[in-house]
Amino acid sequence: MTLVNPHGGGDLNPLLLDGPSLKAELEKAKKLTQVKVSSREKGDIIMLGIGGFTPLNGFMTHADWQGVCDGMTTTSGLFWPIPITLSTDKSTADTISTGKEIALIDPDDGSILATMKVTEKYTIDKGHECATVFGTTDIEHPGVKMVMEQGDINLAGPVKVLSQGGFPEKYGTLFMTPKETRALFNELGWSKVAAFQTRNPMHRSHEYLAKVAIEVCDGVLIHSLLGNLKPGDIPAEVRTHAIMALTKHYFVTKTIAQAGYPLDMRYAGPREALLHALFRQNYGCSHLIVGRDHAGVGSYYGPFDAHHIFDKIPKGSLETQALKIDWTFWCYKCGGMASARTCPHDDKERLLLSGTKLRKMLSEGSDVPPEFSRPEVLEILRKYYAGLQEHEKVEVKLTGHSAK
């Protein structure tokens, strides 16, 4: 048995230069017009660099943007659920001619992330992108806000990536490229691999999802988002430590691997679930665990919209398939974790779990039931919250499905 093919059916397409070509491109880049990118765009550049966005070779044209918004397909016929675009303000765009090269600058430290040959400058209907990708134009939606606040001019063209944006230095061996995860899976003898997407520490419901996947797969990749989150979310370093404690004490050795990837959350719900499956295919995963309200926020999406969207895309769009799991909870009458498919009991017997609820209890210093989270995990998280300065504390509100 072999791992799934990279998206598009070919080989991985990492755009990161190295050796003499990297040195030469960096020297050339110093003389180019500089465009500072956003945090989201930085994550996209790093994914292009490491092959996570295989087979893309850069930022999308207007025709590709339109095709992805309206039909989740580029002009070449490639399935892609969310536009990968670069924007800037009009005054900067006016200084850039098509056919010219520019340097893309890290928003965090001002270093050069990539060079790009600009093949097209274009404007978009931002509201149309929001309506098609997020299913809403409500400015309170964090993804909508991100799009509406981006520059008015999009720049398209191929990129040469010159940096991994500090992710390897910050996260060490947690930051893995698709080439590296594929090598790890081969070393472990895995061919059927489920990815578990997380931006939260793992509570008992997450543990249950991963263990269900292990029953039908060779192993699970716990794949943590390392880019930007909402205020009040728990940093990746803390999440990683908590996940390590959980897997050490409650999982069989060599059934779990842990890694991180450099994107920001878009909170695009169903469309982002498809993107998560797409780039996990590049990382070598045959399945993506899709639970309740995957990549959602508030009450913008139904709890299982991310399940249903996998049934609506054309057959063959993705090799990586959704491993759909129903609403999970602790059932006092069953005496353990269960799902709506396996538990016959009333809601009053069920303790519904969510990352938001856990963060709220921890941020307020409330007791956390043992049915909610493992003690080894809670010890790490309580230490984190106890160390927060007053200005770092954020009120956690229960909205949408997490309020139930």
Q: Give the torsion sign (CA, 197, 198, 199, 205).
A: positive
Backbone region of residue 67 per phi and psi (left: phi > 0; alpha: psi in -120 to 50; beta: other values): alpha
Q: With contact defined as beta carbons under 8 Å apart, do 39 and 228 qualify? A: yes
Own/partner pairs for 168-173, CB < 8 Å, 24+ apart? 171/226, 171/236, 171/237, 171/240, 171/260
Q: Tell me, what DSSP letter sits at residue 159?
A: E
Cis-peptide, bond into residue 55, ω within 30° of zero: yes
Residues with active-site annotation: 199-200
Count other C-beta atoms under 10 Å from residue 351's C-beta.
15
| Start-to-end Cα distance in the chain | 42
Q: With contact defined as beta carbons under 8 Å apart, do 272 and 82 qualify? A: yes
CA angle (47 as vertex; 175, 187 as ends), nearest 5: 50
